[in-house]
Amino acid sequence: MTTNELPLTKNAILDAAETVLRRYGPDKTSVVDIAKALQVSHGTLYRHFASKTALREAVTERWLQSSISIPLAKIAEQTEGSAAAQLRLWIETLIRAKWKFALEDAEMFGMYAAVTVSAVEIIAVHVEQLIAQLAFIIERGMASGEFKPGQPLALAKAVFVATSRFHHPSHAYEWTGEAVEAEFESVWQLLLLGLV
């Protein structure tokens, strides 16, 4: 039996789980592996998370927040300069982050891809956050006269869906294609025509 004298927090569990998941991969990682890393019994972890699935979802949710939502929020909150340039920067930052994680953080990206199928509510909340950020940028562009009048939230959803091939994990196998940059540019130009 293992014991750890330090109080066990949710963040400490998530930190350990993320480390272990990266080491062994989501399919091979067990709650026992995470408990060993924390020097506690696996029963202790079940007091914080009802199942391995709940723990994996919590790790993914936190990863999405810190790696995707928060960095994009910083871009969306800018109130100076061109809204079109800001919108493009936001979309490109999302795309580049997903491409980078698919290549350099395969274990976490793989777990995220699995959660997009199994934990619909977590992903729905995440997508709602991102669409709200897009809507904020579009609304700013409308207020300044850079974008034509419209419904910012509906347009934000359209922009998100129109660019999903470049950031949704189910399309990750397409991201290394030679034409992907040119294809994004075509989609961007079409979106811009619809906004200005």
For the chain (length 196 residues), average pLDDT per consecutive 10? 62 90 82 89 87 87 93 96 97 96 88 82 93 98 97 98 95 92 96 95
Q: Give backbone dihedrals phi and psi of 177, rounded to 5 degrees, phi first.
A: -65, 150
Per-residue pLDDT tens digits for 79-126: 999 999 999 999 999 999 999 999 998 888 888 888 888 878 889 999
Select from 3.40.50.970, 3.40.50.720, 1.10.10.60, 1.10.10.10 the CATH code of 10-46: 1.10.10.60
The pLDDT assigned to 5 comes to 46
Exposure string of 171-195, with b = 16+ CB inside 10 Å and e = fewer, is: ebeebeeeebeeebeebbeebeeeb
CB 141 within 8 A of CB 87: yes
Determine the Cα angle at 48 with ends 43 and 52, to 5°: 70
Instruction: Please state which of the four CATH numbers 1.10.357.10, 1.50.10.10, 1.10.10.10, 1.20.1250.20 is assigned to the domain occupying 55-195.
Output: 1.10.357.10
Q: Where are the domains of the chain?
A: 10-46, 55-195
